[in-house]
Amino acid sequence: MAGKVALLLWVPPPPSPVPSPFQPRPSASLVTLTCQGSGTTGATTWYKDGQRWWQQGRDRLTVTRSGTYTCDRPGTRRSPPVTVLDDPVVLQVPARALLEGDTVTLRCRGRQENHLSRVRFYREEKDLGGSLRGTEMSLPPLRLHHSGRYSCAGLVGSWQSRLFSVPVLEGPPTPTEGSPLTLSCLSTPSPLRPRAPLLHVFYRDGQVVGGPQGSPLLLVPTPGVSHSGNYGCEVHSQGGAVRKSSAQLRVTVRSVLVSGVSLSAQPPGAQVALGDSLELNCSVTMGTGALSFSWHREGSGALLGTGPHLELRRVGDNDSGQYRCRVSDGDSVAESDPMNVTVLVPVANATITPGPLSHQVHAGDNVTLHCSVQVGSAPVTFSWLHNGQEVAQGPLLQLSDIEVGHSGTYQCVATNQLGQDGHRVFRAHSPELALEVTPQSSLLTGGVTRGCWGVQDACSSG
């Protein structure tokens, strides 16, 4: 590549004797400055960019930073400045004050001894022309009109023979699975042919995964763990006459840890009637790669199922409980919060108490009947039938100041509504109870509709 630096050259009036640092000779990134002149050598003060930098130091100093340096000693004026540059190309001239009649040799040098070619020298941006001795040019004896800003330019290294540089493959070494991955194959073309068409080929573990293409970028929109490997790229000229390969870049795609495991149920609420079906679903907020699912119920060590869905068909009483879903990607495990599954039981075995009735009931007495069920999920409602007609609701039937007209058959009906939105209605009818009331006394007997039970003589005499 081409580089250019400038240094102001002037012819001042004759100065008084002062220390004078000679132009340094770079060695790699080190530059040695020497302060010469009168005064004590151990009392040299150095300045960098106009600020005191080193006081009471030695007359020789090695620097590594760019800047403008001067020096002085007790009883002397400050020396002319010397500029240390870190540019690819440096113009070197004597650091001493120049007078009319002096001869000066300009030297154009590359940083860290880089080879320069096609060197040219300029004054106020105009080519000086003239003959060169490699990277040096001698000026004629100086006159006042030679003052001005001088610079040089040249080609660094062997760019004149390189079509493009060896490519460098860049990209994140540990991308996250599912996030876009971009790899860049960087190669600098020669300034002599900056627009030469170049083609790029990308490899993973020796297999072509992209190109040949004009773009130096390889984009993997949704990388997985399988995209991990050793990547490399090759740049070649159109026609393939010049080919250069990059060093390998190890890319390891990291999987996203499993998190955010949650459960849902169908029907919602995880309440299901006995004998119906229920489906539980397990979802994951974060997690990539191959995921495995397992289902568990609290208090049971058995594995209920695998996969993101668990279907409970024709549920029974023992299917109630707390269910969990466990998800693993092979490296990490996450578990859902428990979901309570409730199996709703239809009402069954409705009965009336007291019963069987074996005591006499007289007109004017009070009678209380109670209806209950053996099983049935709440809420359960009750209604009472007298001779087949509904006469009351609730679990208790109270007959106050009983009359002959209260005679007949009594039955209670228990009801509960199950399933989503209570779409399934279950009813349980108790056995019928026969009641006979006489003006003097009444005998309360109980039984099914096909006959009486309790005091048989009273039932048969009626």
Q: Is the pLDDT of residue 134 over 80?
A: no
Phi, psi (degrees; rounded to nearest 5) at 77: -80, 165
The whole-number average pLDDT for the span 24-43 is 65
Q: Supply the pLDDT for residue 357.
A: 54
Q: What residue type is assigned to position 370 of the chain? A: H
Q: Is the dihedral of CA 30, 35, 36, 42 positive or negative?
A: negative
Q: Which residues of 71-84 are buried (b: 16+ CB within 10 A; e: fewer)?
A: bbbeebeebbbbbb
Q: Supply the pLDDT for residue 207.
A: 93
Distance CA 405, CA 417 (A): 34
Of all residues in the chain, the percent with pLDDT exceeding 90 is: 18
- Band the pLDDT of 371: cuts 50, 70, 90: very high
Averaged confidence pLDDT in the chain: 78
User: Cβ atoms within 10 A of the Cβ of 327, count?
Assistant: 22
What tens digit of pLDDT does each residue of 216-233 get?
999 999 888 888 999 999
Q: What residue type is assigned to position 387 of the chain? A: N
The whole-number average pLDDT for the span 300-321 is 85
Distance CA 103, CA 39 (A): 28
Q: Is the pLDDT of residue 457 over 50?
A: no
Q: Supply the pLDDT for residue 456.
A: 30
Q: Supply the pLDDT for residue 384.
A: 92
Q: Supply the pLDDT for residue 112.
A: 57
What tens digit of pLDDT does each residue of 82-129 get?
877 767 777 887 767 788 888 888 888 876 556 677 788 888 888 887
Of all residues in the chain, the percent with pLDDT exceeding 70 is: 81
The whole-number average pLDDT for the span 43-60 is 81
205 or 445, which is more confident?
205
- Band the pLDDT of 74: cuts 50, 70, 90: confident
Q: How big is the CA angle at 399 (ends 395 and 400), to the nearest 5 degrees?
A: 135
What tens digit of pLDDT does each residue of 243-255 get?
999 999 999 988 7
C-alpha dist (Å) from residue 155 to 21, 92, 149, 166, 419: 29, 17, 21, 18, 86
Q: Is the pLDDT of residue 17 over 70?
A: no
Distance CA 320, CA 298 (A): 10
Q: Is the pLDDT of residue 462 over 80?
A: no
Q: Supply the pLDDT for residue 433.
A: 86
Q: Which residues of 330-350 are buried (b: 16+ CB within 10 A; e: fewer)?
A: eeeebebeebebebbbbbeeb
What tens digit of pLDDT does each residue of 250-279 get?
999 887 778 788 888 887 778 878 888 889
Highest mean pLDDT among 15-29, 199-213, 284-298: 199-213
Find the range with the poorest average confidence among 69-73, 130-134, 192-196, 216-220: 130-134
- Band the pLDDT of 186: cuts 50, 70, 90: very high
- Band the pLDDT of 48: cuts 50, 70, 90: confident
* Residue whose pair of structure tokens reads 């493959």 in the numeric block: 169
Q: Which residues of 189-212 are buried (b: 16+ CB within 10 A; e: fewer)?
A: bbeeeeeeebbbbbbbeeeeebbe
Q: Is the pLDDT of residue 183 over 90?
A: yes
- Band the pLDDT of 161: cuts 50, 70, 90: low
Residues 167, 185 contacting (CB under 8 angstroms):
yes
- Band the pLDDT of 178: cuts 50, 70, 90: confident
C-alpha dist (Å) from residue 402 to 354, 360, 368, 395, 398: 17, 12, 11, 19, 10
18 or 287, which is more confident?
287
Distance CA 149, CA 36 (A): 26
Q: Supply the pLDDT for residue 56.
A: 67
Q: Supply the pLDDT for residue 418.
A: 79
The whole-number average pLDDT for the span 336-357 is 83
Residues 49, 68 contacting (CB under 8 angstroms):
yes
Please give the model's pTM, rounded to 2 decimal places. Answer: 0.41
3-state secondary structure 219-282: EECCCCHHHCEEEEEEEEECCCCCEEECCCEEECCECCCCEEEEEEEECHHHEEECCCCEEEEE
Q: Supply the pLDDT for residue 52.
A: 84
Q: What residue type is assigned to position 117 of the chain? A: S
Phi, psi (degrees; rounded to nearest 5) at 252: -120, 110
- Band the pLDDT of 3: cuts 50, 70, 90: very low
